[in-house]
Chains A and B, each alone.
Chain A
């Protein structure tokens, strides 16, 4: 199936209800990253820390590999203090592992963490060099070709927030998307706990949303199917297979919970009928 032509609203206009249901969720971000021209400038915000890595790291791995496979130029940043370390790990484990030709300064840049929560986003929307005058290592932005001429967020074709809470995807919608709604595509990958707050933003204010580990697993499948690694297929399957691995425990746990709910209800009904007989 040609995923490029798939309707972003979730499954296309036609087809059965089950087909539409099957189309929901998995292609939003995939299509957003596919739809921008190759070599576009992309901003990836790592707004999470190790406590949420179980859900969000699979998304981050797949997203970085997807962007690099499309030749996009990636700018990393973080609204969470430990987000910079998560981004560094992703750069080492995925970007440089599977795309060793990516050069710092021209193909990717690490801006690092800035304190200030939503104020960081708000200032970046209008004056990025004032917020980030240097990259994470202290090099002036003017010395890095990828970000030398960047004045604000409109310089990016796509912004993705991998978000575990505050500050995160909600703040990107409120302060970045509201400031320049047509300037860039905004997508997000989110934890299951937070995603209920973000779903109302889709699709008008946020063009893509990966929902918890299920969304990560589906996204991993799409990315690895279209962009396999010729040199290291096994390593790619391992690094971009964490989400799918974690769906196994999900199945068992959900079956267990459903079983316990049914058992509890049967016990309650049996108890009631016994009480009624008395």
Chain B
């Protein structure tokens, strides 16, 4: 009991000391950065040629904040630390606040308040709010989303939580309805149609001779048929085989033995190659994001390059 207590106490003490050390290091880095920033600004303002660039204070502060936050996030590569925690909290807080403000001004104000009190909204918020031809009807209809919104917020009340289920059902129902048709059209019918292609692909035929004259006799026949497009044919066959074998893998009404098993096995290969390709593209995207941040640090912040 004592041993456990001591161990925990020591561990907590060490953790606290480590956190304090990181806090002091973070503050030192921040202080040093601010002093360098101040020195650079002063030097640029006093020593620089007046005819040259002027100091864009707001942009400079923005670049420095972005650089310190970038470095703060990257410190996680070493280990979790207070500097990282601060940067992470700033990111989450700013994002949440931005989305709330954005939702208020781009959705609630024009689509709800703009219908309920268009004159007031036009006067204090959106001068270019369109003038409706049927303001009375718009106002009456706007009470529907207002009511549904209030019902949704009822979840926060201590009693009557079931009231919020109704607007949720409305949201899910309308979303499913809107998406169902689009998904069937674009992702099922169109995709199935695109899969049904000739297995043997021919190169486009040339109806006329090289000199532009109409082809006759054997030349006309050859021009009509065209030559075999070998790689096009390979691609078409690979596509059909891939679709069928992957579908077989997800077909569980038959045991995966014999021909069905081999087809399913081939389907696994197609799936793995697809996932590998997707993962490779994801890695490429992440490397680009890192490269962009390093570009920012070296070029925009430090002015190197």
Contact = CB atoms under 8 A, between A and B. Distances in A.
Q: Is the interface of B mostly helix, strand, loop or mixed?
A: helix
Contacts, number: 105
Interface size class of A (residues with CB under 8 A): 35 or more
B285 A55 contact: yes
Interface in B161-215: 178-179, 182-183, 185-187, 190-191, 193-194, 203-204
B117 interface: no
A54 B190 contact: no
A138 B122 CA distance: 11
B7 interface: no
Interface string A165-198: 0000000011101100000000000011101100
A100 interface: no
A225 interface: no
B284 A113 contact: no
B190 A13 contact: no
B288 A212 contact: yes
A14 B284 contact: no
A178 B290 CA distance: 37
Given A55-B289, A250-B288, A200 B191 contact: yes
A193 B281 contact: yes
A54 B185 CA distance: 33
Most chain B C-beta atoms within 10 Å of own C-beta, residue among A118, A249, A257: A249
A245 interface: yes
Contacts of B231: 17, 20
A239 to B, nearest CB: 14
B182 A118 contact: yes
Interface string B103-114: 100110001000
A193 B282 CA distance: 4
B203 A13 contact: yes
Given A13-B232, A195-B281, A55 B183 contact: no
A9 B191 CA distance: 17
Contacts of A254: 284, 287
A204 interface: yes
A192 B279 CA distance: 9
Contacts of B277: 196
Nearest to B275: A196
B77 to A, nearest CB: 15
Given A13-B203, A134-B130, A138-B128, A178 B186 contact: yes
B257 to A, nearest CB: 30
A87 interface: no
9 contacts: A53-B292, A54-B291, A138-B127, A196-B278, A211-B281, A246-B292, A246-B295, A249-B294, A250-B284
Given A115-B106, A196-B274, 17 more contacts: A9-B232, A14-B229, A54-B288, A54-B291, A55-B285, A81-B102, A139-B128, A174-B183, A192-B285, A193-B281, A196-B277, A196-B281, A246-B288, A246-B291, A246-B292, A249-B291, A249-B294
Interface of A: 9, 13-14, 17, 20, 51, 53-55, 81, 113-115, 118-119, 122, 133-134, 137-139, 173-175, 177-178, 191-193, 195-196, 200-201, 204-205, 211-214, 245-246, 249-250, 253-254, 257
